[in-house]
Amino acid sequence: MHWVMDYETLINCFAGVFEDYKTDTKKIFVVHELRNDFKALIKFLKENVQHKERHISYNGLSFDAQITEYILLHHELWAKLPAEKIAYKIYEKAQYVIDKSNKREWLDYNESTMSIPQLDVFKLNHWDNPAKRSSLKWIQFSMDWHNLQDMPIHHTTKITTQEQVDNIITYCINDVESTKAILFKSKKQIALRKELTKEYKINLLSASEPKISKELFLHFLSKATKQKKADIKYSRTNRKHILVKDIILPYVEFKTDVFKDLLKEFRSVVINPEETKGSLKYSLNYHGVKIDYGLGGIHGAADSGVYKAQDGMTIMSSDVKSYYPNLAIKNEWAPAHIPKKEFCELYQWFYDERVKIPKSDPRNYVYKIILNSTYGLSNDKFSFLYDPQFTMQITVNGQLSLTMLCESIMNNIPGATPLMLNTDGIEMIVPTKYIPKYLEICEKWEKLTSLELEHDEYSKLVLADVNNYIAVHKFKEITKKEYIKIKKKIPWALLKEKEGKYFHAKIKCKGRFEFNDLALHKNKSALVVPKALYYFFVHDMTPGKYLDTNKNIFDYCIGKKIRGNWTFKRRLIDDKRNFFEESLQKTIRYFISNKGCKVIKCNNEDKREIQVESGKWMLRIFNVYKENSWEKYNVDEQYYSQAIYREIENVAGKRIKQLTIF
CATH topology of domain 3-206: Nucleotidyltransferase; domain 5 (3.30.420)
Contact predicate 619/598, CB 8 Å: yes
Closest CA to 155 of 43, 13, 45, 356: 13
Per-residue HEC secondary structure of 95-154 comes to: HHHHHHHHCCCCCCCCHHHCCCCEEEHHHHCCCCCCCCCCCHHHHHHHCCCCECCCCCCC
Contact predicate 15/70, CB 8 Å: no
Strands in 494-498's sheet, in edge-to-edge order, are 476-478, 501-505, 494-498
Contact predicate 138/587, CB 8 Å: yes
User: Rounded to whole angstroms, how far apart are CA atoms 111 and 61?
Assistant: 7
Contact predicate 26/180, CB 8 Å: no
Q: Which residues pair with 31 in a beta bridge?
A: 14, 36
No. of helices (H) and no. of strands (E), the chain: 20, 28
One-letter amino acid for residue 470 of the chain: I
User: Rounded to whole angstroms, how far apart are CA atoms 328 and 398?
Assistant: 10
Task: State pTM to two decimals.
Answer: 0.92
Contact predicate 591/557, CB 8 Å: yes
One-letter amino acid for residue 462 of the chain: V
| Per-position DSSP letters for 470-536, written without gaps between them | EEEEPPEEE-HHHHHHHHHH-TT-EEEEETTEEEEE-EEEEGGG--SS--TTS--TTTHHHHHHHHH
Contact predicate 538/509, CB 8 Å: no
User: Rounded to whole angstroms, how far apart are CA atoms 212 and 299?
Assistant: 29
Produce one character per residue of 8-25: b if its CB has 16 or more CB atoms within 10 Å, e if not.
bbbbbbbbbbbbebeeee
Contact predicate 549/582, CB 8 Å: no
Question: Which one of 3.40.640.10, 3.30.465.10, 3.90.1580.10, 3.90.1600.10 gives the CATH number of domain 242-336+387-472?
Answer: 3.90.1600.10
pLDDT digits (tens, 9 = 90+) for 180-195: 999 999 999 999 999 9
One-letter amino acid for residue 185 of the chain: K
| Per-position DSSP letters for 183-210, written without gaps between them | HHHTHHHHHHHHHHHHHHS---TT--HH
| pLDDT value of position 514 | 96
Domain boundaries, the chain: 3-206, 242-336+387-472
Closest CA to 123 of 113, 133, 115, 131: 133
> Strand pairing of 3-10 and 55-57?
parallel
Contact predicate 415/431, CB 8 Å: yes
Divide the 662 residues of the chain into consecutive groups of 10 and give the mean pLDDT of each group: 97 98 97 97 98 97 98 96 97 97 93 96 95 95 96 94 97 98 95 94 94 92 92 93 96 97 96 84 94 92 94 96 94 94 93 89 88 90 94 96 97 96 95 97 98 97 96 96 94 94 96 94 97 97 96 98 92 73 94 94 93 95 95 96 96 56 32
